Amino acid sequence: MLVLLVLCVGLVSVHGELEVDPNGYIVYCPCMGRFGNQADQFLGSLAFAKSLNRTLVLPPWIEYIKHPSSRVPFNTYFKVAPLRKYLRVILMEQFMKKLAPSIWPKGDRTAFCYSARHGSSDKDSCNAKDGNPFGPFWDHFGIDFDKSELFAPLHYDTESAHEIQRWRDKYTPDKYLVLAFVGPPASFPVKKHHLYLQKYLEWSDNINQKAEKFIEKNIERPFVGIHLRTGEDFKRACEHIDQTPTMFAAAQCIGYRQEFGKTTEEMCYPSPPTVTKDVKEWVKKLKAKTVFVATDSKDFIDTMSKAMKKVKFIRQPSPSSPHVDLAILQKSDHFIGNCISTFTAIVKRFRDIEKKSSSFWAFKNKESKQKEEL
């Protein structure tokens, strides 16, 4: 009844507070990887919701610091208001508390997936809550699914007007006011034509202020910001780079058609000499006073300090905030990151929007090499 009323008169108020979007909503679990991957697929999900003209329900970020996983509200790290310049959005916490009881009630909740998921005896089931982080995510909001909708062969190509029309024709808001996806409705890695959407993401005041305060207290400009992935898990992944040259965020340096070069294991997991050489080059170019290091493991500060005795090397004290790391790196005078890492990719996208310089370990694209040779 409410849905029919909404479609007839447009936006209506629920309990005098939030308005219902007659075009419908998109809900999803950011159930793929850690923060870098989630941020990557958020851009595609944003574009997909826009293409269907639906409100995007902003999911919490999933973290794995506490077993099995935890959820952090979207606006802990990013502001909501800038996103509204592009699309209608609502925090999932607000949606579930204020709107879901009326427009997406218990007993009438459908999970959307491309094809049946593992762990189910039913060949037509999304089995949306099987495994971590799927189960804990939906349980956090008290969501159980009553039906499954397998949407194959439809896909998330927002560049195809034909494909988007198929979505609109098949899943009309009068019958499907809420499309709840088991995972992000987006490709991975992020499509080239969605990179610009990074401009609608702005750090929360809390994250931004912590970054500014750290810089003011500890860093003398000009400074170089660097991101190191030196953990054993990433080392193992890098051993397969020859077989998977476009792994993770590799397109950010080699290009989406590998037009700027090819990936190597040294780019993926650079050695201390490589890191020292690349940092030294940019310290010299900028006459940098400080190098800020963000890392998931080893920081190579001892090695670099011996090679650059007049430069201050610093990282956040433990326990560090990876999000503050990102904000500090974004504010650096030059940034050196890991070509393969989606964590690096967040910084690179921000800096591209702001027209700031960035480079990658052990990599110079073909165009740069040609210019140097001339």
For residues 233 and 265, membership in a common domain is answered with yes
Structure pTM?
A: 0.92
pLDDT of residue 373: 43
For residues 255 and 130, membership in a common domain is answered with no
For residues 84 and 222, membership in a common domain is answered with no
Whether 128 maps to a domain, the answer reads yes
In the chain, the number of structural domains is 2
pLDDT of residue 65: 86
Gap between the Cα atoms of 348 and 350, Å rounded = 5
> What is the H or E stretch that residue 342 is in?
helix 342-353
pLDDT of residue 374: 41
CATH number for the domain harbouring residue 81: 3.40.50.11340
Structure tokens at 59: 């999911």
Whether 198 maps to a domain, the answer reads no
pLDDT of residue 123: 76
For residues 150 and 207, membership in a common domain is answered with no
For residues 49 and 95, membership in a common domain is answered with yes
pLDDT of residue 280: 98
Closest by Cα among 143, 163, 141 to 152: 163
For residues 176 and 244, membership in a common domain is answered with no
Per-residue pLDDT 10s for the chain (374 aa) are 444 344 333 455 544 578 999 999 999 999 999 999 999 999 999 999 999 999 999 999 999 988 888 999 999 999 999 999 999 999 999 999 999 999 999 999 999 999 998 765 667 899 999 999 999 999 999 999 999 999 999 999 999 999 999 999 999 999 999 999 999 999 999 999 999 999 999 999 999 999 999 999 999 999 999 999 999 999 999 999 999 999 999 999 999 999 999 999 999 999 999 999 999 999 999 999 999 999 999 999 999 999 999 999 999 999 899 999 999 999 999 999 999 999 999 999 999 999 999 999 999 876 655 444 44
Cβ atoms within 10 Å of 241's Cβ, excluding its own: 22
Whether 112 maps to a domain, the answer reads yes
Closest by Cα among 268, 233, 273, 275 to 252: 268
For residues 232 and 359, membership in a common domain is answered with yes
Place of tokens 């310089």: 357
CATH number for the domain harbouring residue 220: 3.40.50.11350
Q: Which of 135, 162, 193 is the last residue of a domain?
A: 193
For residues 154 and 231, membership in a common domain is answered with no
For residues 127 and 26, membership in a common domain is answered with yes
For residues 172 and 49, membership in a common domain is answered with yes
**Residue 101 belongs to what domain range?**
2-193
pLDDT in tens, 323-341: 999 999 999 999 999 999 9
End-to-end C-alpha distance for the chain, whole angstroms: 71
pLDDT of residue 66: 82
Place of tokens 């610009």: 196
Q: What SS3 state is found at 12?
A: strand
For residues 126 and 261, membership in a common domain is answered with no
**Positive or negative torsion for Cα 207, 208, 210, 214:** positive
The answer to whether the CB of 341 falls within 8 A of the CB of 238 is: no
The answer to whether the CB of 48 falls within 8 A of the CB of 55 is: no
pLDDT of residue 1: 41
